[in-house]
Amino acid sequence: MRRTWFRLDTADPRDWDWDPFPTARYRFDSASGKHRVRYAAWSARGAMRERFDHVRRWVTAAELDLHLVELTGRVRVLDVRTEATLDALGFDDQVSTSRSPQVWGTCQLLTDRVVDWFGDRVDGLVYRSRTTPQRSANLAFFGSAALQARSLGRLRDHEDLLVACIASDGFTVQGL
Q: What is the pLDDT along the chain (176 residues), one digit of tens a residue?
A: 889 999 999 999 999 999 999 999 999 999 999 999 999 999 999 999 999 999 999 999 999 999 999 999 999 999 999 999 999 999 999 999 899 999 999 999 999 999 999 999 999 999 998 876 677 899 999 999 999 999 999 999 999 999 999 999 999 999 98
Q: Do residues 130 and 28 touch, judged by C-beta distance below 8 A?
A: no
Cα–Cα distance between 140 and 109 in angstroms, integer? Answer: 14
Cα–Cα distance between 147 and 98 in angstroms, integer? Answer: 28
Residue 119: the pLDDT is 95
SS3 of 137, please?
strand
Cα–Cα distance between 71 and 77 in angstroms, integer? Answer: 15
The DSSP code for 68 is E
SS3 of 9, please?
strand
Q: Do residues 153 and 67 touch, judged by C-beta distance below 8 A?
A: yes
The set of residues, in sequence order, having a beta carbon less than 8 Å from that of 39 and lying 6+ positions away, is: 7, 26, 27, 28, 50, 138, 139, 140, 141
Cα–Cα distance between 128 and 82 in angstroms, integer? Answer: 10
**What pTM, to 2 d.p., does this model score?**
0.94
Domain boundaries, the chain: 5-173
Counting every residue written for the chain, the total comes to 176
Cα–Cα distance between 146 and 97 in angstroms, integer? Answer: 27
